[in-house]
Structure 1
């Protein structure tokens, strides 16, 4: 394995190495699409029917279409920033921070702001995935428990032991060295995301056929229904808007995904194809889950529409759906964590280049590993698991992180880097149009952050550390 200095000054570009001296990249747009689907279709798809219940038919569909278009547009812009100054022949930017620094320079330390935003949201998501995976594992247990002992049995289960099981699995999976080796995990996770989404869609259709369409409206739950005040309606609407906005984001791992692609055809062309396929596939499933879930449950749509079908019959199908969620999130955790692992490991190699703990690699059963990677990644998983145990409301905090980072990572930096790289004249039509889009998304991000903050404050008032029960 080449050392860090050779990566920066040595350009081997032979059959085994790319133009930057790194091992030849072999990724294809199909694998990149799987990475995108694994990242984008997170557990958030399960809450889309709830979001529709808050927004209603018209605003819900408009919100989905708007954020799909924005995410697709800005992600396509971002693919051209992988290399700079030229998107085809320029120097590679392996991370989001490097791309911002290369395209926008050191002024105002924008690349540091980018790094803080990216790492914060990635850390938050890994904690949130730990909590959500435990809840889905608990749902499998409860479904089998009710089936075995009857509908009135006490089938509650503590989430902490389940989180420990998740941590053990993630510690093992975290030893996969980098994004280039995650293709199989990502493909399996993408298949699982389609599986539980499809099951949810099928159960929704079955409920509609059996019971008819639930009580719905064009603008969501009306004020006064179930004691909802005008203020509560506003907060719920803002929170739902934030959920939809954040559901399409994957910019925080886009560069790491693009860095797995082979150089021919050019990476930006392959990544554009992968982005279109990935986001459109996700949008189709998002729309079907949101629309059919809302039609099935109406204004009473639960936060997780899979649990809305109960834990009873068909218990095996609900169990299969939750098992698919578990497998998907176990893989998605690794996709999200890889930029964090890579950042710390690269920084450590540069900080202590002579340390054998950091630079020496061993081979065991044909697998290459280092003691530093084993210690650091294991420590990270343990710490994130402990935080998930202490703060069972952390998903609310992830919503706030997502709302706060949606604008800078998914809109502002992609637009500003494209303007700089394409040398778009200031105050030209294209420049003004992009700034208007950025401003509109900034306002939406602020509103969503306000809604998430209110939900977080409510959760903090009632939480008990290490007492999470499903």
Structure 2
């Protein structure tokens, strides 16, 4: 490592990132090639498709029938469709803004775009905390869901075996990530991500087709679950948070686009957008049948996770749970990669650590162990979906891209673009306020009877 204070390497990473690529020193170039987000720019458009499917279609899809039960038919369908349109629009804006500055500058990370819109310091403080809450929060929820799905698989294939505590299944799920988290960059996890995207389509199809196979339940009810008005309202809020959680994938979209090649004649937004549209068609194919069929067949009796409601055919449900596990393995890695990038950027650029394999080995394993520990301590799946969904996903998915667009593009007041963005902002802010309220209430209710580490 260069020691002299005048080296460009000693400049603050955040103050230096607006320079054009050519002005980087050899040392900076070497570091950028080592960091997971900027190391490789060889991705094809279909990488964008399956990375986005893996990022968006998470465990949230399995909670959609339960969310429908709390929302009711009319509001439920409306929220699902409106969310699909709003999040596709905001995702399109982010893809467009990746190379909004002429001259070869690319915003490879969400916070870099935020800094360009809001200023160096403010941009960092607006984007990074929210992005970290989302990515770390999702990884914790995926640890819990991965453990639950492994446990359900174990119970399906061996109903007479001794029941093993959820804690141990979460540990088994985490042990896979101790290995996979050593894959250096986004492109190196593309195989894992592709498998995860295929699995999400598979288990979504199993969820709704097995629901049809089971048929409409006798005495099925579609009224609101709670007997009190307050309970109904808070459940409604929590369900909104769950829907937001299901649509959140924007936190990693700049980082996914960073892996694509780009020239002034052929910017990366073309292939990226093609992948995004394919991904969103798959999202609709996964979400709507699961939500509507699951709710239609079971009504109010549907569980937080639709696969837990379904018991037969046993082999199919066992297989679906295993598909969920494989998908969550890929999703965990997609959300962990930007966190690894942030940690390694700070360690190497700010704290002057050498970019070595053992630095990566230690930091990434510490992160996996941290998410595992939190997941084992607080395994409240439904409440966490609502809480994290409203608290952090709504800003970064529904309205932060719109605010950045208004700051950078400055559309004329009351023009179509201006109005569309303000509608999205108001809708997103409302979700940010009400989602966490419902989720927090659910966590408190579940925590009453909860005993730690059982």
Q: Answer yes or no: same fold by TM over 0.5.
A: yes
SS at the partner of 1:91? Answer: coil
1:11 paired residue among 22, 38, 62: 22
Which residue does the alignment assign to 2:71? 55
Which residue does the alignment assign to 2:3? none
Alignment of 1:138-153 (within 5 A): 138-146=151-159, 149=160
Q: Are the structure 2 counterparts of residues 301 and 433 from structure 1 closer, same or farther at C-alpha, using a change threshold of 3 Å?
A: same
Q: Are the structure 2 counterparts of residues 382 and 24 from structure 1 closer, same or farther at C-alpha, using a change threshold of 3 Å?
A: closer
Which residue does the alignment assign to 2:302? 301
Give the CA RMSD over aligned residues.
2.7
Which residue does the alignment assign to 2:319? 320
2:64–2:290 Cα contact (<8 Å) kept: yes
1:436 paired residue among 389, 412, 423: 423
Measure the CA separation in 2 of the matches of 1:429 and 1:143: 53
**1:417 aligned to 2:422?**
no
Measure the CA separation in 2 of the matches of 1:262 and 1:10: 14
1:36–1:275 Cα contact (<8 Å) kept: yes
Q: Tell me whether 186-195 or 268-277 shows the greater mean CA deviation.
A: 268-277
Which residue does the alignment assign to 1:185? 192
1:213–1:295 Cα contact (<8 Å) kept: no
Measure the CA separation in 1 of the matches of 2:137 and 2:39: 31
Q: Tell me whether 29-38 or 238-247 shows the greater mean CA deviation.
A: 238-247
Which residue does the alignment assign to 1:457? 444
Which residue does the alignment assign to 1:203? 210
1:215 paired residue among 196, 220, 227: 220
Which residue does the alignment assign to 2:281? 280
**1:131 aligned to 2:130?**
no
**1:334 aligned to 2:336?**
no
Alignment of 1:32-71 (within 5 A): 32-71=48-87
**Cα distance, 1:347 vs structure 2:** 1.2
Measure the CA separation in 2 of the matches of 1:30 and 1:4: 37
Figure out how many residues of one structure are paired with residues of the other and give that number. 431
Which residue does the alignment assign to 1:290? 291
| Structure 2: gaps (5+ residues) | 1-6, 10-15
How far does the alpha carbon of each residue in 1:249-298 deviate from its partner, in whole angstroms, 9 at most, with x for none?
Answer: 11111111111112263111222222221122111210000111112212
2:124 paired residue among 88, 93, 111: 111
**1:359 aligned to 2:346?**
no
| Structure 1: gaps (5+ residues) | 361-369
Q: Are the structure 2 counterparts of residues 51 and 213 from structure 1 closer, same or farther at C-alpha, using a change threshold of 3 Å?
A: farther
**1:91 aligned to 2:105?**
yes
Measure the CA separation in 1 of the matches of 2:401 and 2:90: 6
